[in-house]
Amino acid sequence: MVHLWLRAETKSNEHRAALTPSACKELLNNGFQISVEKSADRIFDDEEYEQKGCTLVPTLSWKNAPDDAYIIGLKELPENDDSPLSHQHIFFAHCYKNQRGWKDILRRFIKGNGTILDLEFLVDEKGRRIAAFGYHAGFAGTALGLDVWAHQQIHPKQNFPSVEPYPDENVLINYVQNRLDGAVAVRGRYPRVMVMGALGRCGKGAVECARKSGIPEENIIKWDLEETKKGGPFKEILECDIFVNCIYLSQKIPPFLTKEMLDEGRQLSVIVDVSCDTTNPNNPIPVYSVNTTFNNPTVPIQTNNPHPIEVISIDHLPTLLPREASDYFDKDLLPTLLELKNRESSSVWQRAEKLFKEKCALVD
């Protein structure tokens, strides 16, 4: 019997779940055993899982889980811990693209003889991701970008406040529309929004959010491979008010923007780096170096231009809509989770394990 152990998330303001109650019910119906750590932060109540037949266990008790249990979660493992890890972990490890501290993470698994089955790298035979939060990342990032732009118009001397998750998309869109109404009354026009990577899952979410928020179609500039094939930097970005980066970075490319460009005349005042490759040495937006949070959503960029500019670089944007994002993700992930019953014959899981071993081989 396959045993999945849903761990409680420890990242601040993370409310999504790697397994929703409805997904758990389907897995239980297929002979899985599911343990769910209690969590006050998860968007789904503990009782929702219990009602589906899951076993509730203490928060952060996964280290004591049976050896054969798969520990499943979304974001990073608890910080300030370098103890060996012996279980098989399914989560977004963020250590395969030379991110800061990637070797330290892998060393813990090497020492404990554990395994990472990274959610980001569960792909089909064509290299396409099985499940991703991209759509909601783009949607949420654009909503925040529009909100920050509106704030700059209405309260130019005030810092942008902290942000809380929304119960659903309609509430979020209504809020953004109201904010835009106030900003347009001051500025006299809607912002121009450029979405980089507009044809991908993330980009489509960004474009859809802009449309639903009332941005005129002619103000939504959609760029993808065709528009960027000449290579950056791109001065066209400076002509927009909001730049939303939605590309999936897989190799080094010329930067889209440089710090020097921001000293020039520009309309640009908000950068939303949905891709958030902040610590990646190949980050195509090398104008900032820190991740922002829901408590502090923006970071200003110091330039020689009096026109202020802020960056949103939150690395778990979909938790702005935690219930919808979790449901959407699990709907795509569920068929692959069911394949854990015959993992040896599942090409998706075998590719994930092979990649983990290849990355471990790079650790000195």
Over the stretch 43-69, which tens digit does the pLDDT of each residue have?
Answer: 999 999 999 999 999 999 999 999 999
Q: List pLDDT tens digits, range 325-358.
A: 999 999 999 999 999 999 999 999 999 999 999 9
DSSP assignment letter at 37? E
What is the model's pLDDT at position 276? 85
- Whole-number Cα distances in Å, 326 to 37, 196, 273: 17, 24, 21
Residue 100 confidence (pLDDT):
82
Distance, in Å, from the CA atom of 205 to the CA atom of 48, rounded to the nearest integer, reads 28
pLDDT score at 279: 76
Three-state DSSP class for residue 35: strand
Torsion angles phi and psi, residue 342, rounded to 5: -135, 55
Burial state string for 235-262 with b = 16 or more CB within 10 A and e = fewer than 16: eebbebbbbbbbbebeeeeebbbeeebb
User: Does position 281 have pLDDT exceeding 80, yes or no?
Assistant: no
- What does residue 229 show for φ and ψ, rounded to 5 degrees? -65, -20
In this prediction, residue 187 carries a pLDDT of 96
As a whole number of Å, the CA-based R_g of the chain is 21
pLDDT in tens, 171-205: 999 999 999 999 999 999 999 999 999 999 999 99
Q: Write the pLDDT tens digit of every residue in 118-162.
A: 999 999 999 999 999 999 999 999 999 999 999 999 999 999 999
Among 251, 286, 282, CA closest to 271:
286
Look-up of token digits 């958030």: 276
Look-up of token digits 């970075």: 249
Query: d(Cα 352, Cα 226) in Å, to the nearest integer?
Result: 31
| Residue found by looking up tokens 């001051």 in the block | 186
Interval 11-25 mean pLDDT = 97
Q: Which tops the pLDDT comparison, 99 or 88?
A: 88
Q: What is the pLDDT of residue 291?
A: 93
249 pLDDT higher than 80: no
Decide if pLDDT at 311 tops 80: yes
- Binding-site members for NAD(+) are 128, 200-201, 224, 228, 248, 274, 314-317
* C-alpha–C-alpha distance, residues 85 and 104, integer Å: 12
- Rounded to an integer, what distance in angstroms lies between the CA atom of residue 105 and that of residue 2? 25
pLDDT(248) > 90: no
- State residue 303's pLDDT score: 96
Separation in Å, CA 246 to CA 13, 58, 225:
22, 37, 12
**86: helix, strand or coil:** coil
CATH for the stretch 133-320: 3.40.50.720
Alpha-carbon separation of residue 208 from 13, 137, 177 (angstroms): 25, 12, 14
Residue 97's pLDDT band, with cuts at 50, 70 and 90, is confident
Catalytic residue annotation: 75, 94
240 secondary structure, DSSP code: S
What confidence score (pLDDT) does residue 354 get? Answer: 97
Pairing of strands 270-273, 88-91: unpaired
DSSP state of 78: P
Determine the pLDDT at residue 322: 97
Mean pLDDT is lowest, of 245-254, 307-316, 332-341, for 245-254
Using 50, 70 and 90 to split pLDDT, how confident is the model at 23? very high
- Does the 3-120+322-361 domain belong in CATH 3.40.1580.10? no
Annotate 66-107 with DSSP letters as a single string: -TT-EEE-SSPPPSS------SEEEE----SS--TTHHHHHH
How far from 97 is each of 63, 94, 102, 296, CA to CA, in Å? 26, 7, 8, 26
Q: CATH 3.40.50.720: which residues of the chain? A: 3-120+322-361, 133-320
User: Which pLDDT band, with edges at 50, 70 and 90, does 251 fall under?
Assistant: confident
Binding-site residues, please?
128, 200-201, 224, 228, 248, 274, 314-317
282 pLDDT higher than 90: no
pLDDT at 80: 81
Condensed to tens digits (0 to 9), the pLDDT of residues 209-232 reads 999 999 999 999 999 999 999 999
Give 114's Cβ-side CA count (13 Å radius): 24
